[in-house]
Chain A
Amino acid sequence: MTPLPVQALDIAAAVVLVTAWVSLLHRRIEALVDTYAIQSAAVALTAGLVAYEYRAPDLYLLAGLTVAVNVVALPGLLRRVVRVLGVPRMVNMYASVRESALIGLALLLLSVWVVGPIAPFAEIPSAGLLPIAVAVVLIGFFLLVSRRKAITQVVGLLVMNNGVFLAGIALTYGLGLLVELGLAANLLVLAIVARIFLQRMKESFDHVDADALRALEG
C-alpha cells in the first residue's frame, strides 16, 4: 500500500503528463498558455507534496517560486505579448494535431521503455514519476521542434523545463543544487521571453510606422 501523499504525487505527475499532451492539441496560443499554467501548478503541487512527505523544507520554497513565476508571472507575460503586440493567435505547426498526438503517445511509450528499468533507483518510491518526467521533457522538445512561432517555442521550452524539474524531484527530491538550477532555468526563460517581447515590439512598431506611411499615400 503506497502512502497517500505518494499516491497524490503520482496523480499530480499524471496531471503534468495530461497537460503536456493537451498542449499538443491547442491551436490557439492563449489556450496553450493556459494549459501551461495548469501544468506548472501541478508541478508546484508535486514539489509541495514531496516537501511534505520527505520533510524537505527547501522544496516548499521551490514550489512557491514555481507558483509565482511559472503559474502567474510567465503566463501573464506571454498573454501580454500576445495581446499587446497583436501576434496572430493561431499556433502554426509543422505536424498536424493528430500526428502530434500520436507522436506524444510514442514519446511516452519510449520513455516508459527506456526509463522503466531505472525508475526504482529514483529516491521517490513512485515508479511512475520518472518515466512521466522524461516523457514531458520529450514532449516539450517536440513542441519546440514542431511549432513555428517563437512564442510557441518558448512554451515548448517551458514545458521541457517542467519536465526537467519533475525529473529532478524524482531523482533527488530537490536538494539545494536543484533549487539553484530551477531558479537559473526560470531566469533564462524570463530572459528569452523578454528578448522576444522586445524584438516583437520593435517589429510591431516598425509595422505601425509603415502602415501609417502607406496611409498617407492615399
Chain B
Amino acid sequence: MSGSFLAPALALVGEYLLVLGLSPLLLAVLRRVKARTQGRIGPPLLQPYRDLWKWMGKDGIYASSASWITRYAPAISFAALLAAVPLVPWFVLPTPLGPFGDLILLVGLLGLSRFVIALAALDGGSTFGGMGSSREMWMGALAEPVFLLVIFAFGSPAGSTQAGAIAARGVALGIAYANPPLLLAIVAYVLLLLVETGRLPVDNPATHLELTMVHEAMVLEYTGRDLALIEWGRGFKLAIMFGLLIALAAPWGISTSGTLLLVGLAVGIVVGKLLGAHVLVGRLEARVAKWRLFRVADLLTLAAVFAFGSLALAYVIGGGA
C-alpha cells in the first residue's frame, strides 16, 4: 500500500460497493439453491433487487401507536450493519480501516442493530412484535459470549482481535495455518453464524407462521422504504458473517499487495468463495427442519464448548489456531 490516503480510501469504497451490490445477489443464490434442492424452480436471481426497488417506491404506513423509534430504527440498524463492513477483510490486506476497529466492535455494532430493531418491534404494541423481540434478544444474549470466545480462539495466536491481523497471519502461513484449534474455532463460528443470521434450523426466514417466526415477527409491521432498509441490511449481515468466515477460516486469496491486477483477482476470489458458501448453506438449509427455540441454547452451548476447546488445544499444541 502506498503511504497516501488514496489507496485505502479507494479500497474502502470498493468494499462498501461490493457488499452493497452483492448482498442481494447472495440472498438470491441461497434461495435459488434451496428451491432447486427441494425440487422447485425458485425466484430469479434478480428478484431481491426488484423487491428492494419496489419497496423504495412504496407508500409507507405506520401504526398510530408507534413512536419515532419505529421510524428511525431501520436507518440506525442499516447504518450499524454498514459500519461493520470494513471490519471484515474482503480482498485487500492490510484492511483499509487499519488499526481503527476490531471484531469486538463488530459484535457491538451487530448488537446495536439488533437492539434498535427489537425496540421497534415493541413500539407498535403488537403481540407478534413482542414475541419476536423477546426471542431475538434472548438468542443474541446467548450468542454474545460464544462470539467473544470465538474471537479469542481465532485471535490468540495472532495476538490481535482484528480480523485483518488474523487473516494476514493465515495468508502468510499458507497451509500451515490449518490445525486442530483452528478447526474447532471454525466449527464454533459456523454454529454461531446460523444463530446470528437467523438461518435454519434456528429461525426460518421464509416463514410467517406466528408461533415459529423470530426475525420476521419483529419486522412484521414494516413496509415501503423501511422494509427495504431492513431487508438490505439483513443481506449485509449475511454477507458480513460469511465474509468473516471466509477471512478467518480460509483467508488465502486476499491480496496483500497493492497492484490493481492482484486486487482484481482477489475480488474475484472472494466473490467466488462467498457464492460457494451460500450454495453450501442453501443445500444444507433445504434438508433441515427448524428446531425448537430452546434447542438453540444447546447449539450455542456446544459452540461455546468448541471455542473454549480450541483455546485449550491451542495451549497443548502450542502456536495455536
Which A residues are closer than 8 A to B by beta carbons? 1-2, 4, 7, 10-11, 13-15, 17-18, 21-22, 24-25, 96-98, 101-102, 104-105, 108-109, 112, 116, 119, 127-128, 131-132
Contact = CB atoms under 8 A, between A and B. Distances in A.
A13 B184 CA distance: 11
Given A7-B175, A98-B297, 8 more contacts: A4-B175, A14-B181, A18-B187, A96-B298, A98-B298, A108-B309, A116-B316, A132-B180
A109 B301 contact: no
Closest 3 CB pairs of A and B: A14-B180, A97-B298, A105-B305
A97 B297 CA distance: 9
A129 to B, nearest CB: 9
B167 to A, nearest CB: 19
A7 B298 contact: no
A128 B313 contact: yes
Contacts of A131: 313, 316
Q: Is the interface of B mostly helix, strand, loop or mixed?
A: helix
B91 interface: no
B316 A119 contact: yes
Among A10, A22, A98, A109, chain B packs the most CB atoms within 10 A around the CB of A98
17 contacts: A4-B175, A10-B317, A13-B180, A17-B184, A18-B183, A18-B184, A21-B302, A22-B302, A96-B298, A97-B301, A101-B305, A102-B305, A105-B308, A108-B313, A109-B312, A112-B315, A127-B318
Given A21-B305, A25-B299, A97-B301, A10 B179 contact: yes
A14 B183 contact: yes
Given A1-B176, A7-B176, A10-B180, A21 B301 contact: no
Contact of B183 (A1, A15, A22): A15
Interface residues of B, number: 26
B220 interface: no
A15 B186 CA distance: 12
B305 A128 contact: no
A112 B309 CA distance: 10
A179 B150 CA distance: 39
Contacts of A127: 316-318
